[in-house]
Protein backbone atom coordinates (compact mmCIF):
# COMPACT_ATOMS: atom_id res chain seq x y z
CA UNK A 1 0.00 0.00 0.00
CA UNK A 2 1.48 3.35 -1.05
CA UNK A 3 1.66 6.04 1.62
CA UNK A 4 -0.35 9.09 0.51
CA UNK A 5 2.04 11.91 -0.36
CA UNK A 6 5.06 9.70 0.24
CA UNK A 7 6.70 9.15 3.61
CA UNK A 8 8.40 11.14 6.33
CA UNK A 9 10.07 10.13 9.58
CA UNK A 10 8.42 11.66 12.64
CA UNK A 11 9.15 10.58 16.20
CA UNK A 12 11.18 7.65 14.96
CA UNK A 13 8.43 6.25 12.73
CA UNK A 14 8.21 6.34 8.95
CA UNK A 15 4.69 7.57 8.28
CA UNK A 16 2.63 8.99 5.44
CA UNK A 17 3.17 12.66 4.68
CA UNK A 18 -0.58 12.99 4.36
CA UNK A 19 -1.87 12.50 7.87
CA UNK A 20 -5.29 12.91 9.40
CA UNK A 21 -6.23 15.68 11.80
CA UNK A 22 -9.05 14.72 14.16
CA UNK A 23 -10.41 17.99 15.56
CA UNK A 24 -13.58 17.57 13.45
CA UNK A 25 -14.31 14.25 15.11
CA UNK A 26 -15.20 15.90 18.41
CA UNK A 27 -18.71 17.09 17.73
CA UNK A 28 -19.82 20.50 16.51
CA UNK A 29 -17.00 23.02 17.00
CA UNK A 30 -15.09 20.11 18.55
CA UNK A 31 -17.28 20.31 21.64
CA UNK A 32 -19.14 17.50 23.34
CA UNK A 33 -19.79 13.96 22.24
CA UNK A 34 -19.46 13.29 18.50
CA UNK A 35 -22.57 12.49 16.52
CA UNK A 36 -22.65 9.50 14.15
CA UNK A 37 -19.93 7.80 16.18
CA UNK A 38 -19.93 4.69 13.97
CA UNK A 39 -19.23 6.81 10.88
CA UNK A 40 -16.35 8.57 12.59
CA UNK A 41 -14.85 5.26 13.65
CA UNK A 42 -15.08 4.16 10.01
CA UNK A 43 -13.17 7.29 8.93
CA UNK A 44 -10.32 6.43 11.30
CA UNK A 45 -10.19 2.76 10.40
CA UNK A 46 -10.42 3.40 6.65
CA UNK A 47 -7.67 6.00 6.83
CA UNK A 48 -5.27 3.35 8.08
CA UNK A 49 -6.51 0.08 6.62
CA UNK A 50 -7.61 1.28 3.18
CA UNK A 51 -5.55 4.37 2.44
CA UNK A 52 -2.31 3.75 4.32
CA UNK A 53 -2.50 6.95 6.35
CA UNK A 54 -0.23 6.20 9.30
CA UNK A 55 -0.07 9.61 10.99
CA UNK A 56 -3.10 10.44 13.17
CA UNK A 57 -3.06 13.75 15.03
CA UNK A 58 -5.28 14.58 17.99
CA UNK A 59 -5.36 16.56 21.25
CA UNK A 60 -6.88 16.24 24.69
CA UNK A 61 -8.75 19.50 23.98
CA UNK A 62 -10.70 17.98 21.10
CA UNK A 63 -14.13 17.33 22.56
CA UNK A 64 -12.55 17.92 25.05
CA UNK A 65 -11.26 14.38 25.65
CA UNK A 66 -13.85 12.64 23.49
CA UNK A 67 -11.65 12.27 20.39
CA UNK A 68 -8.90 10.45 22.27
CA UNK A 69 -11.56 8.00 23.47
CA UNK A 70 -12.83 7.62 19.90
CA UNK A 71 -9.34 6.93 18.59
CA UNK A 72 -8.79 4.28 21.23
CA UNK A 73 -12.07 2.54 20.50
CA UNK A 74 -11.48 2.69 16.73
CA UNK A 75 -7.80 1.98 16.34
CA UNK A 76 -6.46 0.09 19.35
CA UNK A 77 -6.75 -3.25 17.45
CA UNK A 78 -4.46 -1.88 14.72
CA UNK A 79 -1.81 0.15 16.51
CA UNK A 80 0.55 -2.64 17.28
CA UNK A 81 0.56 -4.44 13.91
CA UNK A 82 1.14 -1.32 11.83
CA UNK A 83 3.59 1.54 11.93
CA UNK A 84 0.94 4.04 13.01
CA UNK A 85 1.87 7.22 14.85
CA UNK A 86 -0.78 8.61 17.17
CA UNK A 87 0.27 12.13 18.14
CA UNK A 88 -1.57 14.13 20.78
CA UNK A 89 -1.27 17.57 22.33
CA UNK A 90 -1.65 18.96 25.85
CA UNK A 91 -1.68 22.48 27.27
CA UNK A 92 -5.07 23.83 26.19
CA UNK A 93 -8.31 23.92 28.18
CA UNK A 94 -11.88 24.29 26.96
CA UNK A 95 -14.64 26.05 28.85
CA UNK A 96 -17.08 26.25 25.95
CA UNK A 97 -17.51 25.43 22.25
CA UNK A 98 -15.59 28.47 21.00
CA UNK A 99 -13.11 28.81 23.84
CA UNK A 100 -9.52 27.60 23.64
CA UNK A 101 -7.26 28.75 26.47
CA UNK A 102 -3.57 27.89 26.89
CA UNK A 103 -2.77 26.39 30.28
CA UNK A 104 0.87 25.47 30.72
CA UNK A 105 1.34 25.09 34.47
CA UNK A 106 3.63 22.09 34.93
CA UNK A 107 1.21 20.36 37.32
CA UNK A 108 -1.58 20.72 34.78
CA UNK A 109 0.58 19.41 31.94
CA UNK A 110 1.44 16.37 34.03
CA UNK A 111 -2.23 15.70 34.79
CA UNK A 112 -3.11 16.19 31.11
CA UNK A 113 -0.52 13.67 29.98
CA UNK A 114 -1.79 11.15 32.54
CA UNK A 115 -5.31 11.68 31.20
CA UNK A 116 -4.23 11.15 27.59
CA UNK A 117 -2.43 7.96 28.56
CA UNK A 118 -5.62 6.62 30.15
CA UNK A 119 -7.91 7.60 27.30
CA UNK A 120 -5.63 6.29 24.57
CA UNK A 121 -4.94 3.15 26.57
CA UNK A 122 -1.15 3.29 26.25
CA UNK A 123 1.76 3.35 28.64
CA UNK A 124 3.65 5.99 26.64
CA UNK A 125 2.66 8.79 24.28
CA UNK A 126 4.77 8.35 21.15
CA UNK A 127 4.56 12.06 20.28
CA UNK A 128 3.17 14.69 22.61
CA UNK A 129 3.06 18.35 21.60
CA UNK A 130 2.86 21.38 23.82
CA UNK A 131 -0.40 22.62 22.29
CA UNK A 132 0.31 26.30 22.98
CA UNK A 133 2.86 28.39 24.80
CA UNK A 134 1.03 29.79 27.82
CA UNK A 135 2.27 33.40 28.26
CA UNK A 136 1.48 33.20 31.99
CA UNK A 137 4.08 30.47 32.54
CA UNK A 138 7.79 30.60 31.62
CA UNK A 139 8.15 28.76 28.32
CA UNK A 140 11.02 26.56 29.44
CA UNK A 141 9.04 25.55 32.56
CA UNK A 142 6.35 24.19 30.24
CA UNK A 143 8.86 22.42 28.03
CA UNK A 144 10.71 21.18 31.09
CA UNK A 145 7.54 19.60 32.49
CA UNK A 146 7.19 17.51 29.33
CA UNK A 147 10.90 16.70 29.48
CA UNK A 148 10.43 15.30 33.00
CA UNK A 149 7.61 13.09 31.74
CA UNK A 150 9.84 11.97 28.90
CA UNK A 151 12.52 10.97 31.41
CA UNK A 152 9.88 8.99 33.30
CA UNK A 153 9.00 7.11 30.12
CA UNK A 154 5.51 8.54 29.74
CA UNK A 155 6.38 10.49 26.59
CA UNK A 156 8.69 9.19 23.88
CA UNK A 157 9.04 12.35 21.77
CA UNK A 158 8.11 15.99 22.37
CA UNK A 159 6.77 18.41 19.78
CA UNK A 160 5.82 22.08 19.77
CA UNK A 161 2.74 23.73 18.25
CA UNK A 162 2.19 27.34 17.17
CA UNK A 163 5.81 28.39 17.64
CA UNK A 164 8.37 30.34 15.66
CA UNK A 165 12.13 29.93 15.17
CA UNK A 166 13.01 31.72 18.43
CA UNK A 167 10.84 29.42 20.54
CA UNK A 168 12.17 26.37 18.74
CA UNK A 169 15.74 27.42 19.53
CA UNK A 170 14.89 28.08 23.18
CA UNK A 171 13.18 24.72 23.55
CA UNK A 172 16.21 22.95 22.09
CA UNK A 173 18.11 24.02 25.21
CA UNK A 174 15.97 21.54 27.13
CA UNK A 175 14.63 18.94 24.66
CA UNK A 176 15.12 17.47 21.26
CA UNK A 177 12.22 18.93 19.27
CA UNK A 178 10.66 15.96 17.46
CA UNK A 179 8.20 17.99 15.35
CA UNK A 180 6.70 21.43 14.93
CA UNK A 181 3.00 21.78 14.16
CA UNK A 182 1.84 25.16 12.85
CA UNK A 183 -0.95 26.58 10.75
CA UNK A 184 0.06 26.88 7.11
CA UNK A 185 -1.68 26.73 3.77
CA UNK A 186 -1.47 28.25 0.33
CA UNK A 187 -3.89 31.02 1.31
CA UNK A 188 -1.95 31.86 4.51
CA UNK A 189 1.71 31.28 3.64
CA UNK A 190 3.10 33.48 6.42
CA UNK A 191 5.01 30.77 8.31
CA UNK A 192 7.59 29.99 5.64
CA UNK A 193 10.44 31.22 7.85
CA UNK A 194 9.59 28.50 10.38
CA UNK A 195 9.36 25.91 7.58
CA UNK A 196 12.85 26.89 6.47
CA UNK A 197 14.19 26.90 10.04
CA UNK A 198 12.82 23.42 10.64
CA UNK A 199 14.35 22.22 7.39
CA UNK A 200 17.75 23.53 8.43
CA UNK A 201 17.44 21.75 11.79
CA UNK A 202 15.95 18.61 10.20
CA UNK A 203 12.82 18.91 12.30
CA UNK A 204 9.57 17.66 10.72
CA UNK A 205 7.10 20.46 10.07
CA UNK A 206 3.44 19.42 10.32
CA UNK A 207 0.95 21.82 8.71
CA UNK A 208 -2.51 21.98 10.25
CA UNK A 209 -5.49 23.57 8.44
CA UNK A 210 -3.67 22.82 5.15
CA UNK A 211 -6.85 23.39 3.14
CA UNK A 212 -7.89 26.60 4.89
CA UNK A 213 -10.82 24.96 6.68
CA UNK A 214 -12.03 23.71 3.32
CA UNK A 215 -11.84 26.96 1.36
CA UNK A 216 -8.87 25.76 -0.71
CA UNK A 217 -10.54 22.45 -1.51
CA UNK A 218 -13.35 24.05 -3.53
CA UNK A 219 -13.54 23.24 -7.24
CA UNK A 220 -11.04 20.41 -7.01
CA UNK A 221 -8.30 22.51 -5.43
CA UNK A 222 -7.36 20.09 -2.66
CA UNK A 223 -4.63 18.41 -4.67
CA UNK A 224 -3.05 21.72 -5.68
CA UNK A 225 -3.09 23.03 -2.11
CA UNK A 226 -1.66 19.85 -0.61
CA UNK A 227 1.06 19.56 -3.27
CA UNK A 228 2.04 23.18 -2.66
CA UNK A 229 2.66 22.31 0.97
CA UNK A 230 4.52 19.07 0.36
CA UNK A 231 6.68 20.72 -2.30
CA UNK A 232 8.06 23.08 0.38
CA UNK A 233 10.42 20.31 1.43
CA UNK A 234 10.69 16.62 2.32
CA UNK A 235 10.40 17.55 6.00
CA UNK A 236 6.85 18.89 5.56
CA UNK A 237 3.70 16.88 6.31
CA UNK A 238 0.03 17.88 6.21
CA UNK A 239 -2.85 16.86 8.47
CA UNK A 240 -6.16 17.84 6.86
CA UNK A 241 -9.22 17.01 8.93
CA UNK A 242 -12.50 15.43 7.95
CA UNK A 243 -15.45 13.65 9.48
CA UNK A 244 -16.63 12.24 6.13
CA UNK A 245 -15.61 8.97 4.52
CA UNK A 246 -16.26 10.46 1.08
CA UNK A 247 -14.10 13.50 1.81
CA UNK A 248 -11.34 11.26 3.14
CA UNK A 249 -11.36 9.35 -0.15
CA UNK A 250 -11.21 12.63 -2.09
CA UNK A 251 -8.20 13.86 -0.11
CA UNK A 252 -6.24 10.71 -0.81
CA UNK A 253 -7.23 10.66 -4.48
CA UNK A 254 -6.18 14.30 -4.85
CA UNK A 255 -2.54 13.30 -4.21
CA UNK A 256 -2.46 10.41 -6.66
CA UNK A 257 -0.36 11.10 -9.78
CA UNK A 258 -3.29 10.69 -12.19
CA UNK A 259 -5.14 13.44 -10.33
CA UNK A 260 -2.39 15.99 -10.94
What would the pLDDT profile of 142-155 be if each residue is shown by its tens digit?
999 999 999 999 99
Rounded Cα gap, residues 214 and 24, in angstroms: 12
The predicted pLDDT at position 239 comes to 98
The catalytic residue among 62, 129, 205, 208 is: 62
- Of 117, 126, 128, 203, residue with least CA distance to 159: 128
Are the CB atoms for 125 and 155 separated by under 8 Å? Answer: yes
211-222 average pLDDT score: 76
The predicted pLDDT at position 83 comes to 86
In this structure, of 138-152, 222-236, 243-257, the range with the lowest mean pLDDT score is 243-257
The predicted pLDDT at position 218 comes to 67
Q: Residue 246: is it exposed, middle or buried by C-beta count within 10 angstroms (0-12/13-18/19+)?
A: exposed
Q: Is residue 13 part of a domain?
A: yes
pLDDT tens by residue, 34-76 = 778 999 999 999 999 999 999 999 999 999 999 999 999 999 8
115-140 average pLDDT score: 97
208-231 average pLDDT score: 86
Q: Is residue 84 part of a domain?
A: yes
Read off the pTM. 0.96
- Of 14, 10, 22, 11, residue with least CA distance to 52: 14
Range of the domain at 119: 7-259
The predicted pLDDT at position 81 comes to 58
Helix ranges (H only) for the chain are 37-49, 66-75, 106-120, 139-151, 165-171, 192-201, 222-230, 245-254
How many C-beta atoms surround the C-beta of residue 12 within 10 A? 11
The predicted pLDDT at position 57 comes to 98
H or E element, residue 161: strand 155-161
Rounded Cα gap, residues 26 and 34, in angstroms: 5
Phi, psi of 88 (to 5 degrees): -130, 175
Q: Is the pLDDT of residue 260 over 70?
A: no
Q: What is the largest CA-CA distance in the chain?
A: 51
Between 171 and 36, the more confident residue is 171
Give the pLDDT band of residue 33 (cuts 50, 70, 90): confident
Q: Is residue 224 part of a domain?
A: yes
In this structure, of 44-58, 77-91, 156-170, 226-240, the range with the lowest mean pLDDT score is 77-91
171-198 average pLDDT score: 97
Give the pLDDT band of residue 29 (cuts 50, 70, 90): confident
Q: Residue 190: is it exposed, middle or buried by C-beta count within 10 angstroms (0-12/13-18/19+)?
A: exposed
Q: Tell me the pairing of strands 7-10 and 13-16.
A: antiparallel
Give the pLDDT band of residue 214 (cuts 50, 70, 90): low
Q: Is residue 1 part of a domain?
A: no
- Specify the CATH number for the domain of residue 197: 3.20.20.100
Are the CB atoms for 203 and 180 separated by under 8 Å? Answer: yes
How many angstroms separate the Cα of 101 from the Cα of each of 70, 131, 195? 23, 10, 25
Between 178 and 217, the more confident residue is 178
In this structure, of 34-43, 47-56, 97-106, 189-198, the range with the lowest mean pLDDT score is 34-43
Rounded Cα gap, residues 142 and 130, in angstroms: 8
Give the pLDDT band of residue 78 (cuts 50, 70, 90): low
Q: Is residue 2 part of a domain?
A: no
Rounded Cα gap, residues 127 and 11, in angstroms: 6
How many angstroms separate the Cα of 103 from the Cα of each of 9, 35, 49, 161, 253? 29, 28, 36, 13, 38
158-168 average pLDDT score: 98
Q: What is the mean pLDDT of the chain?
A: 93
- Count up the domains in the chain and report the number: 1
Check if 78 is active-site: no
Q: Is residue 58 part of a domain?
A: yes
Amino acid sequence: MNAPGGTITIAGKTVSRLGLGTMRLGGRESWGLPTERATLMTVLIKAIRTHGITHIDTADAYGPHTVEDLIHDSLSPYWFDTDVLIATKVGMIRTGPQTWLPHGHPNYLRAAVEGSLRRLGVERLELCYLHRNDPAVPFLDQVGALAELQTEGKIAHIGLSKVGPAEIDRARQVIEVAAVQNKLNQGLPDDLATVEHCGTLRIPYVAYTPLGAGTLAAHGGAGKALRWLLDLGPHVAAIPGTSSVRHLDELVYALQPEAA
